[in-house]
Amino acid sequence: MVVLVNPDADVSMLWQTTLMVFLFVLLTVGFNVFFAHHLPLAEGIVLFLHVFAFFAFMLTLWIMADHAPAVQVFTTFNDGGGWGNMGLSCLVGLATPIWCFIGPDAGAHMSEELKDASLQLPKAMMWAILGNGIMGIVMLITFCFCITDLDALLSSGSQYPIIQVLFNATSSYAGTIILGSVLIVLLFFSTVTTVASASRQTWAFSRDCLLVCLGVSLLLSAINFGSTTALNAVLNVSNAALIFSYIISIGCVRLKRLRGEPLLPRRWSLGKWGAPLNDIALAFLFVGFVFSFFPQAPAVGDPAWAAHFNWAIVIFSATCTLALVYYVCGGSRRYVAPVALVKQE
């Protein structure tokens, strides 16, 4: 938004982005430390803002923006990555939409603080995906209709296409800043709830003699001072790692079904749809996992290929190798399963 208002502003310095990340981390952690008891109230207010913002954006774009013809929106495809194959280009582009729906397990980390969690938590996870999925599709189609010139949009100085689309629709700096600020507020509180969920995992790590603290987040952000490529590699690993964790979880359940072994008692069940849905989920996750390691564009013949290559595969493989070696060399003997800490009554 700064560049939109002042095109001559220099926001390309790495230290500026890194300091903004530091501020974001400190604010979100501070909220969870000092205002954690207000988190339910804040989430309720943000939910209202989330729904209100959806309709505000929709009405603005439907009424004020110029619209491309439906034929262009639904039948025109663009291989922006230069893969030479539209199907491959779409598969490589899966990383972004998958990221939008990743992390449904976050609610499970808060289950000990919920009432009737065994039933209400799965319902909340399902309704969150369904509700946000419907709104996301409507928003996506609307956004595509508002892109009348893709090349001009991507080359605009605003750096973020949604900001430029809002400005093109409103022709108002004030209106664009207000709507853009709403996005920042929603992103901030989304990060707050993510930190709240991650803090419960931190407690679990500490039980296993591993402590992940605020300093780790700041140190990871500081990688940007040395190399943006290295930071992107670390960030890209998160997508692949989460997908891999889902493959392991669903795969274990599917394996028990194949063996005919009884599943654990549960109040929420997919019934006869459980097995086919597990198969569909695993197939989709495997595809997403493989293509999460692809670069945005092929690096063949590119002299600067190292800067554009997706190094997540290297970090992911190294992490898995080190974890496996540690487990074999002694970690398995030191690990204490959570069930061992449960007291018999």
Count of the separate structural domains present in the chain:
2
Residues 26-35 have a mean pLDDT of 86
Among 226, 252, 277, give the residue marking a domain's end.
226
Residues 246 and 327 both lie in one domain: yes
Domain boundary among 226, 247, 267: 226
**Residue 192 contacts residue 28 (beta carbons within 8 Å):** yes
Q: Which residue has the higher pLDDT, 163 or 11?
A: 163
Whether residue 85 lies inside any domain: the answer is no
pLDDT digits (tens, 9 = 90+) for 234-278: 777 888 888 898 899 899 989 988 888 888 888 888 888 888 999
Is 26 inside a domain boundary?
A: yes
- 167 vs 66: CA distance, rounded Å: 11
Residue 307 falls within a domain, yes or no? yes
Residue at 329 is within a domain: yes
161 and 244 together in one domain? no
- Higher-confidence residue of 235 and 324: namely 324
Q: What is the DSSP string of 304-340?
A: THHHHS-THHHHHHHHHHHHHHHIIIIIHHH---GGG
Residues 166 and 45 in one domain: yes
- Whether residues 263 and 298 fall in one domain: yes
Whether 175 and 210 share a structural domain: yes
Please check whether residues 195 and 290 belong to one and the same domain: no
Q: 159 is in which domain, residue-wise?
A: 1-67+103-226
Q: Is residue 93 part of a domain?
A: no
344 pLDDT more than 60: no
Q: Is the pLDDT of residue 10 over 90?
A: no
Yes or no: say if 156 and 164 are a contact pair by the CB < 8 Å rule: yes
- Asked if 156 contacts 176 with a C-beta cutoff of 8 angstroms, the reply is no
Q: Is the pLDDT of residue 38 over 80?
A: yes
Considering the domain boundaries, does residue 83 fall inside one?
no
Instruction: Find the range with the poorest average confidence among 73-77, 142-146, 147-151, 338-342.
Output: 338-342
Tell me the longest C-alpha to C-alpha distance in the chain: 69
pLDDT at residue 283 above 90?
yes
- 12 and 28 in a common domain: yes
Residue 61 pLDDT grade (very low, low, confident, very high; cuts 50, 70, 90): very high
Whether the per-residue pLDDT at 190 is higher than 70: the answer is: yes
Q: Does residue 210 belong to any structural domain of this protein?
A: yes
Q: 236 and 218, same structural domain?
A: no
Nearest Cα to Cα of residue 65 among 140, 4, 148, 141: 148
- Percentage of the chain beyond pLDDT 70 is 84
Q: Which residue has the higher pLDDT, 209 or 129?
A: 129
Inter-residue contact 83 to 92 (CB < 8 Å): yes
Out of 91-95, 121-125, 159-163, 225-229, pick the least confident. 225-229
**Mean per-residue pLDDT over the chain, rounded:** 82
pLDDT of 282 higher than 90: yes
Q: What is the mean pLDDT of residues 274-298?
A: 88
- Average pLDDT in the 227-231 region? 74
Domain co-membership, 26 together with 158: yes
Q: Tell whether 20 and 169 lie within a shared domain.
A: yes
Is residue 295 a contact partner of residue 306, using CB atoms and an 8 Å limit?
no
* Residue 93: both structure tokens together: 């582009």
User: Does 91 map to a domain?
Assistant: no
Identify whether residues 13 and 159 lie together within a single domain: yes
Nearest to 193 by CA among 29, 309, 26, 2: 29
Residue ending a domain, among 226, 245, 261, is 226
Residue of 137, 173, 3, 147 whose CA lies nearest to 61: 147
| Predicted pLDDT at 12 | 65
pLDDT for 318 beyond 70: yes
Q: Are residues 286 and 179 in the same domain?
A: no
